[in-house]
Structure formats: C-alpha cells, structure tokens
Structure 1
C-alpha cells in the first residue's frame, strides 16, 4: 500500500462525488508512476470534468474540494465502510448500526460549545456547513480491535470551529459528547450494549484537537455521513484508535482537567486516554503489531501497523518526552 501525501495543508484542487469515479481513480493510481503524483501533475487534469463537487444535506448543496495532499492507492469500498461499524447505541454486532441506525434523528441538529471559552456557542449544522471550508481527505482508519480501513472523509479542520468560541488560557482539554436518543436500542435496553453508559464521552488534549489533521467529518465517499457512521457530525483523528473518533456529536466542552472517557470508565487498564496507534504497545488481550485491512475482496493476510497509524511525521512532536507505553 503506497501512501502519497505532502506536508503542506494547502488545498490544491477540486474533487469528485460519483462512486464510479472513485473506482476509476483507484485503477489509474495503481498504474500511475509515483513520480507523476509527487510532481503535482495530479488529478486536476485527469478529472477536470468533475471539478465542481457538492455535498447534499437536507436537499441543500454544499461545495467541497479535494485535498490532494492525501492520496491512497486503495480505498475500502463504501459498502464495507458503511456496514462494518461500532456504534454501540445500536448494538454490539458490526452490522447492528447499519440495520438499526435509521431511527437516528439528524435534523434539526445543534452543536453546543461551552466550558473554558470566551464565546459559548450553540450553532446549527446548517450554519456550520455554510461557514466552514469543506474538503475531502483520504485517511487511514485503525480500530483498536486490529482491523483497518482507508476512507475518503468530507469535513473541515476542527480548530477552525473551535476558534470561533475563543478558548481561554485555562482550556487544556476538549470533551466530546454524543447524542443520547431515548429510542436508541441500547438506551432502551442497556443489555444490548453490555450496559455501556450513555451518552458516549471522549476527549482530547487541546493541542491534539487544534492539530490540522484533526477534522470534524460531515460526509464520506462524496455523500453525507450515513447514520451508522456517525451522522451528521463526527470526529476523525487519524493517528488514534477508532474509539476516540466519537460519532453524532452534540456537545463540545473545554476543560481545565483531563476528562474520564467512556472506555476509560469501563476498562481503564485496556483503553487509555491517548489511544495513539502504537504497534509496540499491545492491548492486554491481543497484539497491535499488525492489522486486518478491510479492502476489496477477502484478505487472509495481515499488514504491519505503523506508529501513529503512519502520521508520525506530523504528530509525534505532540508526545515528545512522553512514555507512550505508560500514556497509552
């Protein structure tokens, strides 16, 4: 799997929306010399007819562009990325969210930002979509269960939204809270999700949250997020295990103190606060040295896991002089 990206965060060109074009892009990339892409000749000329791209949400269209600093040879097919999920409010089986998340109410949707901020906000998703610069980024996604995907997300850098609330100097951590809806199966019947307490809560250190790689996603594969993937607004932090990437966010609170996340509360010896992808630190019940990549067809072999999921050049400095085994 060859990964091609630059260290610039500038947007270079527009993207595409049709699934057939994604397949076409994969086939071209597989036959294209590495130098062609790295020289920046890129996809603009190849896909010029798809320069104008739009995300449709509640019958309104929002433009987004493709950030070519993030290119992958192989994407996980949409059909797999949208049917193999953890969203425990809808059950513990991987396909439970696909079958049960249709009841998720995603409109109207308001997001609250409060806590250690100068300007607390309550902002609608429509206002967010109108005001944030949307772009597509292809990221690796690594689950703590040792499987992985490659997904084209549509979203925006989280720091751009957070700056609107003007965090105070006392803001050291960011706490995320997901929607708790009374008719969610595991809310009505806690046994369906092993009595996990809801709402689901996660957190980041503020410098992690402000990093340009950290995004809030509103879409994937050229379309709005499916309910089972965390509609309408989810966190994507590509160097961390998937359980940090909280779905269906309704509240963001800035705090002086480190929060206790849902999985820390349930099993703090297995799921740490940082949850950085690290092949050298095993889960107590399995190795993290390799992963099962979910791509096209069936793959009996595993691939090696990369430190920080391959994003070490960008994020390793955030953890300088930290014991990554102790701070797992």
Structure 2
C-alpha cells in the first residue's frame, strides 16, 4: 500500500533488544531449576550463594552511581546499616510491617545522605576529604548501633521476629523457600540495573561528568552542581538502604559487622573497582568475584585443619587482606576494572 498523495510514510520504530541480555536473563530465570536437576542435594546451598550475590550486586550498583562520577564514598556501609536496622527495629519494637518499614528506612537513609551531602557539596568538599567525611559517617552509625545495645543488640546483632515457620508477606520473610528468595533477589537486581541504565541515559549523567571535570566550568553553563550531586547521592543511598533491608530480611540476622560499618563500605568500593565502576554489569561482576572468594576461603579454612592451626583467629580476616592486595593491583594496572578494561580494548579493536 502506498501513502496518500502529499503525505510521507512514518518511519517504523522498533525496540532494539540486546540478544545477550535476553539469553542471560533466560539463563538466570532457569538457574534454580537447572541447579535442582544437576545438584538435587546441594541446590539450596548454591541458591543461597546466588541470592547473596544478587543482593550485594544491587547494593554495589547503587554505590557505583556515585563512584563513577568521582564521588568516592566510604559511607555506604552506614546506609545499608540504616536500611536493615530501621526495618527490623520498627518490626520488632513497633510491630510495623516491613512493607512500610522498608520505605521508612530508605527515606531515613536518603535524609541522612542529604544532611551530610548538602554542606559538603556546597563547600565543594571532594576527593579524599569527601571520602574521609563519609568514613566518619560510617563509623558514627556503627558506634551508634554498638552503643545502643539495649535496642539494637549491640555488637552481637539482632534478629527480626519470626511471623511463623513459613513464608510471610506481611513480615517480608521468604528465606524458607530458597527459590522464592532467589526470584525476589533477581527482581531486585534487575531493578538496580534499570535505575543505573536510566541515570546513564539521562542528562544528569552529562551534568555530573562535567562537574567531575571542572565544577566552575559546569556551573558557568547553567548546571546546578549541588543539586545534581544531591540527586545522585539520594538515589545511591536509597538503593543501598533498600538492599541492606532486603538482605537483612533474607538472612534473618543483622549485625554491625555483617550489614554496617567500614568493612562493608570497603567491600563495596573494592567490588566496584574490580568489576568496573563505569560499566553497568561491573558491580555485578565484582559481587560475583568477592562473594565467591569469601565463600571459597571460608569453606577451605573450615575444611583444613592445617590452615586453621597455622592462621588461627587471623583466618577470619584473610579475605580482607586479599581484598586489599588485589585492590592495589587493580588500581595500578587495571583502574577501570575488568569489564571497563575489556570494553576499552574491544572498542579500540572495533575502531581499528
């Protein structure tokens, strides 16, 4: 059929979908059933690892929203802790369902991020000064958790009150069903990638990149640098708080060393740098590597009497020592991370 005289045919618009993403998503959806078929006895253990990787990948993706624009924060352990503790305490002490408690926790983390971020960005605190400021925030939150032991359980941590032996939607407790927990974690991770993609395709990205290079030049062309930084900080803190709350509900235990504090912040930074802070799937690769490394060391040390006797209590910090060594190597030889380096080399090859 030809268009009518004097009119032009409208160009056909087609949604372009990367087949790699489609195949990858299909594989992830089928993963629980594949594991159950191949490892019927230990499939629950492997699903547990997958759930942990996906939740931490979501948290790491949230941090990368700031890190990729030069806002290197060591305070995101505070936001994961706020998300987890506010949710659990509202449920245990006030009987408020996590369906309401999680949004309240996210709002609290965002508020804290704005209270700290506004004066910092207005005074143009950046670089290592900003990192030290956020480090102080993390330590403050950790010490508050430990100091308020009558409420938070202190250094021993606390547990959400169980609503029953099975799954509870009201209490957001789904750990007994590992398959359901996996799909909840998978959906959370996909939402995190979608947020990263939207920020990457927005005008805010270009504004933040310009501010990262030269704030004065960015402001001279009409960019509100403070507002842009506060916006991405709010999104980043909210994602980390949500991820911390969901991880706590899955683990059914939260403690200052497992969901809050400087160690968590450093793990976040390390994973993002290793995977590639400027690539959408970089934090996910970092989560995969760090979680597998920690689990491999834990199982290896637990099963080896020689290692336990040789390392003693220092075996508990072996993964942190390895993280530090690898971080030095990656910063020197691969500053863009694994996926960032691969992407650069592949792009140069295509241009040639």
Using structure 1 for the length normalisation, give the TM-score: 0.25
- Structure showing greater radius of gyration is 2
More helix by percentage: 2
More strand by percentage: 1
